[in-house]
């Protein structure tokens, strides 16, 4: 029990450190532009620092995105991306509202703010090499978490996760989802999100992460409980 509590404290502390090194970028919604009719789609994996920048932008812009996690050695989404885009490079964005598809995190971030924001990329995402360096440092606090595939069965329907990028508890859940290569619809509800009220009406309180599994009817809070549920339900070998 003491060992479990220690591991949990280390998990939460290192996840919080990853947020602090990026100055909590993605914690609050910025100025919003037009809203997409369809959810965007993103191929990425949680440990990738360049993917982190795109997830921060999605949180700031309060956008839903269907995430197809691509951990190393994953048998499903990585091969699908190579077939679609020609190479295993992450992140990769598809916007069905404009028929745009692209690699390169800076290009994606710029596109998102031009299309769904006020056209200006925030300083924490526009720092060039400094932005990249801090994103890499954030990944170092959680080395390898969410980067490598663990054998898992694929769900029939994508999961749903209410989250936002700067939440350390949400990061722990996203890492597990990434490792298990489970597709999920990410609902961003950062501070200031106009969708928070609807989320509270749905869930009963303002707390993230919140997982919905349409395959089993399960809905739950608490990152540790969610991670346990994901392993018990989808992992094909013990963690």
- Once rounded to an integer, what is the mean pLDDT over residues 60-88? 96
- CA–CA distances in Å: residue 120 to residues 35, 110, 114, 161, 214: 16, 8, 7, 28, 37
Which pLDDT does position 84 carry in this prediction?
94
pTM confidence score: 0.94
Average pLDDT, the chain: 94
pLDDT at position 14 over 60: yes
Helices 49-60 & 129-140 angle (0-180, nearest 10): 100
- CA–CA distances in Å: residue 178 to residues 36, 69, 156: 25, 5, 16
Which pLDDT does position 10 carry in this prediction?
82
- All residues at 6 or more sequence positions from 140 whose CB lies less than 8 Å from its CB, including other chains: none
On whether the CB atoms of residues 189 and 182 are closer than 8 A, the answer is: no
In tens, the pLDDT along 123-181 reads 999 999 999 999 998 888 898 899 999 999 999 999 999 999 999 999 999 999 999 99
Please give the distance of CA 139 from its chain centroid, rounded to a whole number.
13
Residue 110's Cβ-side half-sphere holds a number of Cα atoms within 13 Å equal to 9
Asked if residue 134 belongs to a domain, the reply is: yes
**Residue 2 pLDDT grade (very low, low, confident, very high; cuts 50, 70, 90):** low
Distance of alpha carbon 1 from alpha carbon 30, whole angstroms? 42
Asked if residue 211 belongs to a domain, the reply is: yes
Asked if residue 16 belongs to a domain, the reply is: yes
- CA–CA distances in Å: residue 128 to residues 50, 56, 105, 123, 191: 11, 15, 11, 10, 25
**Residue 62 pLDDT grade (very low, low, confident, very high; cuts 50, 70, 90):** very high
Which pLDDT does position 1 carry in this prediction?
66
- Once rounded to an integer, what is the mean pLDDT over residues 91-117? 98
Asked if residue 67 belongs to a domain, the reply is: yes
Q: Which DSSP symbol is given to 125?
A: G
Which pLDDT does position 239 carry in this prediction?
46
Asked if residue 75 belongs to a domain, the reply is: yes
pLDDT at position 238 over 60: no
SS3 at position 222: coil
- Once rounded to an integer, what is the mean pLDDT over residues 93-109? 98
In tens, the pLDDT along 183-226 reads 999 999 999 999 999 999 999 999 999 999 999 999 999 999 99
Which pLDDT does position 12 carry in this prediction?
85
CATH code of the domain containing 181:
3.40.30.10
Distance of alpha carbon 121 from alpha carbon 131, whole angstroms? 12
Asked if residue 188 belongs to a domain, the reply is: yes
Q: DSSP secondary structure string, 150-209?
A: --BPPPSS-EEEEE-TT-HHHHHHHHHHHHTT--EEEEE--BT-TTHHHHHHHHSSS-S-
Asked if residue 66 belongs to a domain, the reply is: yes
> Number of structural domains, the chain?
1
Domain enclosing residue 186, as ranges: 2-234
Helix (H) / strand (E) element for 58: namely helix 49-60
Asked if residue 239 belongs to a domain, the reply is: no
């Amino acid at each position: 029990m003491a060992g479990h509590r220690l591991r949990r404290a280390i998990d939460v502390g290192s996840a919080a450190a990853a947020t602090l090194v990026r100055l909590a970028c993605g914690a609050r919604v910025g100025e919003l532009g037009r809203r997409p009719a369809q959810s965007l789609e993103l191929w990425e994996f949680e440990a990738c620092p360049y993917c982190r920048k795109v997830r921060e932008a999605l949180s700031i812009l309060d956008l839903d995105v269907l995430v197809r996690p691509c951990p190393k050695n994953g048998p499903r989404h990585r091969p699908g991306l190579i077939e679609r885009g020609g190479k295993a490079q992450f992140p990769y964005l598809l916007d069905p509202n404009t028929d745009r598809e692209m690699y390169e995190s800076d290009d994606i971030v710029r596109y998102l703010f031009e299309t769904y924001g006020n056209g200006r990329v925030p300083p924490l995402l526009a720092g060039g090499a400094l932005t990249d360096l801090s994103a890499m440092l954030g990944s170092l606090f959680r080395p390898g978490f969410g980067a490598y595939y663990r054998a898992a069965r694929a769900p029939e329907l994508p999961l749903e996760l209410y989250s936002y990028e700067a939440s350390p508890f949400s990061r722990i859940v996203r890492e597990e989802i990434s490792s298990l290569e489970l597709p999920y619809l990410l609902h961003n509800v950062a501070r200031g999100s106009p969708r928070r009220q609807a989320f509270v009406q749905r869930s009963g309180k303002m707390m993230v992460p919140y997982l919905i599994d349409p395959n089993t009817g399960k809905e739950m809070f608490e990152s540790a409980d969610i991670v346990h549920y994901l392993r018990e339900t989808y992992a094909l070998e013990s963690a």
